[in-house]
Structure 1
Amino acid sequence: MPFFPRTEALQARAASTLDVQALVYHTVIFLLALVALAFLLRIPRVLARFWRLSEWTKGHLLGYTHNTGPSHTTAISFDAATGYLKEAGSSQESHSSYDDPKFTAMTRPQRDPNRLLPPHMSPNPSFLRPVVSLLRCRVAPGLSYAQAFTCLGYLGVLLYPGIYRSRGPFIDINRYGYLAVSQIPFIFALGTKNSVIGMFLGYGYEKLNFLHRFVARIAIAAAHLHAFGYFYKWCLNSNFQEEIQEPKIYFGLVMLLCFDGLLLTSLSFVRKNAYNVFFYSHIIFLSGVLVGGFYHYPQLLPYLYATVAIYALDKLLRLIKTRISTATIRPIPELGLTRVEIPNINNGWRAGQHVRVRILSSAMGITGWAEVHPFTIASEPGNPEGLVLMCKKAGTWTQKLFAAAATSQTERGIGREVKVVVEGPYGGPGFAMFNSYSAAVFVAGGSGITFALSAAQELIGSDLRSESRVSVIELVWVIQDASSLFPLIPQFTAMIQRCRYTRLSISVHYTKALVGNSKVPGVLPPGLTLSPGRPRLISLLESTVSLAVNTMGRDESASGMIVGVCGPVGLGDDVTKSVGLVDPEKRDLIGGIEMHEETFGW
C-alpha cells in the first residue's frame, strides 16, 4: 500500500520541477524545425522555379511593361453591338466559317531543337506516386487525407506539452495558457495574405487556410482549459469574486471572450453569408486578443511581439503590392459576370494567381468602396488588354458591379471607366511551373474558366517563345447552359489560332437540357467542341497521356502531366478522384501526374 502514495508524491515533485514555459517554447522550436525541414526538401524545386533571373520577378509584383518586340498575343476586344468579345481586326461574320488553312491544317511545324526549356523537378520520387495518389483522396468534401494527416500530426505535436508529466487539466493550469498563446504567431503566419510559412513552402495563403483554422481551434480549446481550470480552482477555494477582480484576470477574460468571438464569427455559415461580418470581426477580436495578452501575463510578450512582427510584415507587403489604376467594366449577360480590364497593369503575375479588388465608385453604394473581393486573373502577362478579370454575380457587391457595367453599356454603348485598387498577386502554382510539364489538362466549372484561360494562354505564349515542354493542352469547361459558350467563342478561336507547336483542344460540356428556343452555337472551329452531359475525365486524362507521349520527339523524356481544376468543391473532388483512377502504367509513362486546385468557397 505505501508504494502508491510514494509514486504519487514523486510524480507531484517531478511535475513541480518541470519548466512548463520552456517545454512549450521547445515545442514551438520543434514546429519551426519541421517547417525548415519541409523547405529543405523543396530546395530542388525552388532552384528549378527560379532557374533564370527573369523568373524572380514573376508572380510577386504587378506592373506595366512596354512591348517593344513582336507580340504573340492576339488582342480580344469588345463588340458593343453584339455584347460579345471579338478578335481584334475581325468582324462577327469572320467567326461563322473556318475554311482558313490556319484552322484546318493538322500538321504542325517542328519545334526548335535548341529551344530554351525550363527545368522540371518532380515534387516526389517515382516510387512514392501510389502513396501520393492515395493522399489526394478525400476524407470529406474539399479535405484530402494529406490535409487530415497534417492536422493530426500537428495535434500530436501539441499534445506532448499538453500531457507530458501532467497531473491533470485542472491542476497544471498554466501550461494550457502558454500553449494557447504560443500558437497565436502560427495562426497569423498561416492566415495572413503574405504568409511567411507559405513563402517558404511554395503555397498561397488559401492553401494553408485549413491548417490556419485547425490551429486556431486548438488554441481556443487550450485557452478554455486554462480559464476553466482557474474558475474551478477559485470556486473550490471560495475566492472567485476576489480573483476575478484582479486587473490581469480581467484582461485574461478579454482574451477569452475575443477567442469565443473569433470562433463564432468564423463558422462556415457566417463566412459564406456575411463575409464582411467575418472580416471586420476578425480585425476587432484579434486586436482584443493581442491587447489582452499584453496586460494579462508579461511572460507571454515574446509570442505577442512575434505576432505583431508577422502582422506588420504582411501589412507592409500588402502596401507594396497595391496598385491604383483605371479599369473598364463591361457586362457579359450570358455568363452572368462582369469583365474588368485594367490596361495599365499588364505584367507581374503567373497563371492561376488572383488579385484582391476594391472599386472606388459611387455606383457601388455608400460602403462599396470598403469591400475587397478576390478574383482569379483571366489573362496572360503581356496581354494588350492588360490585367483582365471576370467577376461572377455571386453576392450584393458583384451584383452592383454588374448593374454599373450594364447601365453604362445601355447609355453609351461602351464600357464604363472606374477607379480600382488592386492588391496582389496571390496564390498560384507556387514552385511548380506549368510550362515544364509534357502535357496539361485544365478543368473549369462556370466562372472557373478564368483560371483555365489564363493558364492555357500563358502556356501558348511560352511555347511561341520556345520556352515550354508542353506538347498537348486539354481545356475542359463545364457549364449549365450551352448559350454560355457564345461570348467566349472568339477568344477560344484566337487561342486555337495562336497554337503553332502545341496541340490545344477545348471541350465544353453543358449540363442543362435544351428547351424551347435555346440557342446553341452552330459551326465551331476545329479543336473546339460542345457536348451535353459531364465530361468523362478518366478517359480524357488517359488519352491526353497517350497523345503527349506520341507527340514527343525521340530525344525528349516525359516530364509529367499537370492537371489544374478551378470550380466548386465537388468538381475538384471529382477531378481528384479521376486522377487517382488513371492507369498506373500510363501515369508512369508520362512521368507522373500532379494536381493544382483552385476551388470556390471559404
Structure 2
Amino acid sequence: MPFFPRAEAPQARAATSKLDLDALVSQTVLCLVVLGALAFLLRIPRVLARFWHRSEWTKGHRLGYTDTVGPSHATTISFNAATSSPSGYLKEAGSSQESHSSYEDPKFAAMTRPQRDPNRPLPPHISPNPSFLRPVVSVLRSPVAPGVSYMQVFICLGYLGVLLYPSIYRSRGPFVDIKRYGYISVAQIPFIFALSTKNNVIGTLLGYGYEKLNFLHRFVARIAIVAANLHGFGYFYKWCLLKTFQEEIQDKHNFNGLFMLICLDGLLLTSLPFVRKNAYNVFFYSHIVFSIGAVARARLFPTTPRWDSIWPLLPRFSVLITFSVSSKHGRLSRLVRPIPELGLTRVEIPTINKGWRAGQHVRVRILSSAMGITGWAEVHPFTIASEPGNPEGLVLMCKKSGHVDAETFRSGVYESGRARYWGGIQGLVERPYGGPGFAVFNSFTAAVFVCGGSGITFALSAAQELIQSDLRGDSRVSVIELVWVVQDPSSLLPLIPQFTAMIQQCRYTRLFISVHYTKALVGNSKVPGVLPPGLTLSPGRPQLISLLESTVSLAVNTMGRDESASGMIVGVCGPVGLGDDVTKSVGLIDPEKRDLIGGIEMHEETFGW
C-alpha cells in the first residue's frame, strides 16, 4: 500500500472501501468520555469524604465575608513591618556551620500530648489507592524530567493510544486517507476548551485544579494541531500533484480550512515554553485571537450533521466559563506592609474572610491607572497565606511579578501610624483556584509541609487551617512538620512572632518548624539567636528522607491505643526542583514505615506551571 498517492489518486480513492469516519471518531470520543467517567466513579468515596460535613460544601468555591470568625481562643498575629525584626531574637553573624536551635527539645513534650474527646466526630479518611498499589503509585509519582512525572507520561500515552484507533484503522496512509485527520482534530476541540478553563468540569469531577491538568491541555492541543497539519498538507500535496492548487485554494471552504490551519499553527508557536516565560502577554493575547479565529472558521467549514450539534454548544459553554469565574470586585480596604527580608509585600483584605481552603490561590487584577494602559488586564496568581475566619481576612504575600510590585502597592497608599493602608484603588480578586482537591488535610495522622522561599504562603495557610481544626477538636493530625528552605537566615526574622503564636496555639497537635538556610553567612548578617521551643534554624539543605521517617515514627508513637493510622500528607510548594526532590524522597521512604503510617499522599504546588 503506497504511503504517498501517485498522480492517479482519484482512481485509488474510488477503490477505497467505504468507511464511516463520523462514527469511527465518535466512538473514540465516547471511549475517552467513558474512561473519564470511570476515573470519577473510582473517586466517589473521596468525594463523599471531602463533603462529610455541611460546612465543607461551600469551602473552596466562592469568596465572601461573614461576621463570624474562628474560635474565640484564636490569636490574631500582630505584624508590624517597622518592628518585624525583634531585637530580642538577633545576634551577630557566626559560622555557617552553627546550628540555631531552640533551647529545649520540643519533641520530648510531644510524647505526652493531651487526648482528644472520644465522642467528638473526626473527618473520615479515604486513601486514594489500595495498600497493594502503593509501590506502583510511588514509581508513577517519581519525576522522569523536571516537572514531569511518570504518571503524566502514562496518561498522555494512554490518550495517544486511544487516538491511534481512528488514525490507523483501515488506513492506507496519512497522505491517502486525508479526511479522517480533520475529524480527529475537530474532535479534540471540546476537550481542549474544557481543560483550558480555570474551573473546568473535568477538574471539578476529578478533584484537580486547572494547573494540575495543564499538561494534558497542552498535549491534547498539540495532537489536534498535528492532526490538522496532516489533514491540510495532505490536500496541499494532492493538489500540487494534480497541479490544481490555485483553483482549489480559491474555494471558500478550502480557504477557511487554510485560515484555520494558520491559526492553529500560530497557537502552537506562541505557546512554546520560551514565549510563555519571556513574553507572557504575547502568549496570552495571541491565544485569544487565534482561538477565536480557529473556532469561527471551523464553524464555516463543511461538516456532517452529527458534528453540527457541537457548534451550538460553544456559546453556551462560553457563558458557563464567564459565570464560573466568580469574583469579588469593589473598593477594597487593603492593609499593605512590605517585608524587605523576604522581598515580599503582605496584603490584607479584611472584606474577604471565607470561601477558600488551604493551598488555594486567587488571581488578582488591579484596576488602576498606575498599572499603565494594558496593565489592568494583567492577572497574577497569589497563594493565600491565611486560614478562613482569620480576623485579618484574606492575606497575600506578593512577590514582584510584572506590574504588581512594591511601586504599584505604594500608589494610592497613605500613611497611618506605622502601617500603610491601600485606599482608593479598585481591585478584582477572582475566586480561589487549585488546592488539595478531594484530600482533607485534617483527616491524616501526620502532615509535613516543605516550602522554599515565597512558598511559605502555602505552608502558613495549611498549618493555620490545621491548627484551627485542632482547636475545634475535629482533626486527626497529631504531628505537623513545617520545613522552610531560604537563602538567608534573616528571612526568618519577620515571621518569628507568627511562628511562635502558631506553636503556642496548638492543643492536641504538635507543630515543629525547621528553617534551613543555604547561603553562607558573611559580614554583619542578621541571625536569629535563641528561638522559642518548636522552632529551629539550621544551615544547609534538609535531610528529607530522615525527616519524613522521623515524623512517621513520632506520629505513630503519639497515637492512642485505640487510634489507627490514617496516612501522612506531604505538601510541597516552591520551585520545580524542590518538588522533584521531595517526590523522590517520599519514594525512598522505608516501605514498612510507609505502611505503618497508613500510606503517604502528596500535594504539590510548584512555581512556573
User: What's the TM-score, normalizing by structure 1?
Assistant: 0.92
- 2: CA distance between counterparts of 1:270 and 1:135? 30
Amino acid of the structure 1 residue aligned with 2:360: Q
Q: Is the 8 A contact 1:481 1:512 kept in 2?
A: yes
Uncovered stretches (5+) of structure 2, i.e. residues with no partner: 1-11, 92-101
Q: Is the 8 A contact 1:325 1:344 kept in 2?
A: no
Q: Which residue of 2 aligns with 1:235?
A: 240
- 2: CA distance between counterparts of 1:137 and 1:536? 18
Q: Which one of the candidate residues 147, 172, 179 is aligned to 2:177?
A: 172
Q: Which residue of 2 aligns with 1:440?
A: 447
Residue 421 (str. 1) matches residue 422 (str. 2): no
Q: 1:99 to 1:269 in 2, by over 3 A?
A: closer
Q: Which has the higher helix share?
A: 1
Q: Which residue of 2 aligns with 1:129?
A: 134
Q: 1:556 to 1:24 in 2, by over 3 A?
A: same
Q: Is the 8 A contact 2:69 2:390 kept in 1?
A: no
Q: Which one of the candidate residues 582, 586, 606 is aligned to 1:579?
A: 586
Deviations 1:37-87 (A, max 9, x none): 000011111111111222111111111111277434321233253256xxx
Q: Which residue of 2 aligns with 1:274?
A: 279
Relative contact order higher in (CA < 8 Å, ≥ 6 apart): 2
- 1: CA distance between counterparts of 2:473 and 2:90? 32
- 2: CA distance between counterparts of 1:207 and 1:393? 24
Amino acid of the structure 1 residue aligned with 2:19: L
Q: 1:563 to 1:137 in 2, by over 3 A?
A: same
Q: 1:269 to 1:69 in 2, by over 3 A?
A: closer
Q: Is the 8 A contact 2:409 2:422 kept in 1?
A: no
Corresponding pairs, count = 584
4+ long deviations beyond 4 Å:
11-15, 92-100, 102-107, 402-405, 407-413
Q: Which residue of 2 aligns with 1:501?
A: 508
Query: Mean alpha-carbon deviation: is it higher for 321-330 or for 196-205?
Result: 321-330
- 1: CA distance between counterparts of 2:134 and 2:402? 41
Taking the TM superposition and a 5 Å limit, the aligned residue runs for 1:353-502 are: 353-398=360-405, 400-401=407-408, 404=411, 414-417=420-423, 418-502=425-509
User: What's the TM-score, normalizing by structure 2?
Assistant: 0.91
Amino acid of the structure 2 residue aligned with 1:226: H
Q: Which residue of 2 aligns with 1:23?
A: 24
Deviations 1:415-440 (A, max 9, x none): 32333200011100101100000000
Shift of 1:316: 1.4
Shift of 1:330: 2.1
Deviations 1:186-210 (A, max 9, x none): 0111111011111111111100000
Residue 324 (str. 1) matches residue 330 (str. 2): yes
Shift of 1:239: 1.0
Query: Mean alpha-carbon deviation: is it higher for 208-217 or for 272-281?
Result: 272-281
Secondary structure at the counterpart of residue 338 of structure 2:
strand
Q: Which residue of 2 aligns with 1:540?
A: 547
Residue 157 (str. 1) matches residue 162 (str. 2): yes
Q: Is the 8 A contact 1:73 1:384 kept in 2?
A: no
Deviations 1:526-549 (A, max 9, x none): 100111110000000000000000
Deviations 1:185-241 (A, max 9, x none): 101111110111111111111000000000000000000000001101111111111
Amino acid of the structure 2 residue aligned with 1:164: Y
Q: Which one of the candidate residues 183, 195, 213 is aligned to 2:188?
A: 183
Uncovered stretches (5+) of structure 1, i.e. residues with no partner: 1-10, 85-91
Deviations 1:143-164 (A, max 9, x none): 0000001000100111110111
Amino acid of the structure 2 residue aligned with 1:314: I
- 1: CA distance between counterparts of 2:341 and 2:270? 35
Q: Which residue of 2 aligns with 1:337?
A: 344
Amino acid of the structure 2 residue aligned with 1:414: R
**RMSD of aligned alpha carbons:** 2.5
Shift of 1:12: 7.2
Q: Which one of the candidate residues 146, 149, 154 is aligned to 1:144?
A: 149
Secondary structure at the counterpart of residue 311 of structure 2:
helix
Q: 1:421 to 1:209 in 2, by over 3 A?
A: same
Amino acid of the structure 1 residue aligned with 2:118: P
